[in-house]
Chain A
Amino acid sequence: MSLHKRRTKAPPSWLHLTFIALGGAVLLFIVAPILGIYLKSTVGEVAEAAKEAEVRDSIWLTLWVSMAGTLAFAFACVPFAYILARKTFPLKGLITGIIDLPVIVPHSVAGIAILTIVARDTFIGNVAESMGLEIVGTPLGIALAMAFVSVPFLINAARDGFAAVPERLENVALGLGASPLRVFFTVSVPLAWRAIVSGLILMWGRGMSEFGAVLIVAYHPMIAPVLIYERFGAFGLKYSRPVSALFMAVCLVIFVILRLVARRRGNARS
């Protein structure tokens, strides 16, 4: 909307001004603590933290494990989201509810739950071990814990994206001789792409920030949130703050870049 158009609108009422003030308070509530971390940490402290191999390793581990987990789960989640968007079947409501379950399960409980099925003395643990795979205390375990709490974000976003693709376009593609698989990859996915990418970013971001579930499944190797917690416990606020500032800066930069890339692709399409 142009500035000119906005000016011709009626001036905001007291009600709207109140709403805006409330919104401002909430924004401040989000921004102030984050800003506080940066205001309280000096550049020197953050640079010092960045020099530590332990800190760098943990940030890198957090990034790649959450990214790998997200991409791996996308192979199953995106087709599943398509089915949820297109088909009606018995117990669909129940299944939709189950998908949202990880959002309300306390994350420590989620960690305990995952550990219960993947620990060394369990069926899955034994099968994985016989294949030479360790889950507990490894990046694989971390990825599973992250995915458990973040997978609803991808499925729900992709499902909404597919639901917004007119079914008629898929019918036309079928009529033109495309197989259902071809229709999925050349019509449905490209048109839902923006929502899928948005879901991937959300899942990745949520996974990366996970602490509770990961702590229980894999204290070591240490991801950044666990390292921050450990430093806080052992050395206090002053020593955990620079690592927090550094980790958050890295996350923010990647988050903003991905958002921009996704938006540009979306704009190019529309």
Chain B
Amino acid sequence: MLEVKNLSKRLDTFAMRDVSFNIGQGEYFVLLGVSGVGKTVLLEIIAGVMRPDRGTIALDGRDITFRKAQNRSIGLVYQDQALFPHLSVRQNIAYGLRCRKASRSEVREKVTNFAERVGAQDILDRNVESLSGGEAQRVALARTMVTEPRCLLLDEPIASLDAQSRGEVRSLLRDLNRRGQTILHVTHDYEEAVSLASRIAIMEGGTIAQTGSPEDIFHHPNSEFVANFVGIKNFFRGTLEPPAPGGQLSRFADPSGLRLWVLTDQAPGTGCLLFRSQDLAIANERPQTSAKNIFEGQIIDIIPAKLGVEVTVQIGVKVSALLTRSSINSLRLEIGKTVWVHFKASAGRFLRV
């Protein structure tokens, strides 16, 4: 639906080269990269407020590389929201409709409709400068959504918000995507990427280092940069079950049948569970330990990492443990050996999806 091919742009501070990706209809595509790699510039080029040096952009099969921004049907929401300070919330949301010469009744109806969708119906007459970060972000989303763009571009929409607003905006974005909105979202936060993306692209040094599903990226990083950047290898999608009555621990089940214990205050539901490699320990015998998650499995890979050595064990799914070199030697770990992997329920981090 949105095809970006070999996009290049050189500016004073950085160079972006040969960026290519395709986004399908209804997809939630997250571009993950450290700050300053040109993610915002990429969005501005796609939105048409900046020209690329080379490359093409096509929307629904039509080349829009040089089409004017106002005729692209692509909505861009900036991290700082960029609400019009001289207009009220209502006038901000109505702006795009007024540009389309919508009738007064249509403007009223759509503004109310979209304000309700983002939960901004009670702040319509407020001055935008009195809004909190979360409110401003919702208004900015409504202002763009009201023009019904084919593709929605989001520049770090969550980064500058407080913890509570983050959750609200995240579920709002998920809801928009479920209703069929195609979204391209750029961020530097892998948790944001994991909890929202149907596909992720990693941007490194002005180009795309890897594209794939979150599972692909997290389990099979194709470069050291991606591996270090995403950091977490133990990444499972599944369902969090409610804790047993009186108990504190919840059960997490993934589709392959793996069941893990996790200590979390998150409500039950679907989501993903993350464990850091350094929280996993390996033993040759079944250990006597307080850790609730104990599995027997076979070592399938041992790779030196920047810090220590990464041992991948097949326990039904692949998990990765980060050990020191001396542990590898003293436990005499080698590929093919059967070992016990154990990790604490409290080391897990559950993210609702």
Contacts and interface: CB of A to CB of B under 8 A. Distances in A.
A and B bind: yes
A177 B70 contact: yes
A175 B80 CA distance: 16
- How large, as a class, is the contact surface on chain A? 10 to 19
A176 B144 contact: yes
Contacts of B307: none
Interface in B76-114: 76, 78, 80, 82, 84-86, 95-96, 99-100
B134 interface: no
Interface in B44-86: 44, 47-49, 68-72, 74-76, 78, 80, 82, 84-86
Nearest to B100: A177
B352 interface: no
10 contacts: A172-B82, A175-B49, A175-B69, A175-B70, A176-B70, A177-B96, A178-B70, A182-B99, A187-B84, A269-B86
B136 to A, nearest CB: 13
A172 B144 CA distance: 9
B84 A169 contact: yes
Interface string A128-164: 0000000000000000000000000000000000000
A141 B297 CA distance: 96
B48 A175 contact: yes
B143 interface: yes
Interface of B: 44, 47-49, 68-72, 74-76, 78, 80, 82, 84-86, 95-96, 99-100, 129, 143-144, 147
Contacts, number: 65
The 10 A-B pairs with the shortest beta carbon distances in the complex, nearest first, are A176-B96, A171-B49, A177-B99, A174-B69, A178-B99, A172-B82, A190-B86, A168-B82, A177-B70, A175-B76
Given A169-B84, A269-B85, A270-B129, A174 B70 contact: yes
A178 B95 contact: yes
A269 B49 CA distance: 27
A266 B18 CA distance: 46
B78 A172 contact: yes
A169 B99 contact: no
A190 B69 CA distance: 22
A173 B69 CA distance: 9
A269 B69 CA distance: 28
Nearest to B80: A168
A172 B136 CA distance: 14
B95 A173 contact: yes
B85 A168 contact: no
A177 B147 CA distance: 8
A166 interface: yes
B82 A169 contact: yes
A227 interface: no
A174 B49 contact: yes
Contacts of B47: 171, 175
B86 A176 contact: no
B74 A175 contact: yes
B99 A176 contact: yes
A179 interface: yes
Chain A CB within 10 Å — which of B68, B70, B78 has the most? Answer: B70
A110 interface: no
Contacts of A174: 48-49, 68-70
A191 interface: yes
Contacts of A173: 84, 95, 99
Interface string A167-206: 0110111111111001000110011000000000000000
A174 B76 CA distance: 10
Given A166-B82, A169-B82, A175 B75 contact: yes
A172 B99 contact: no
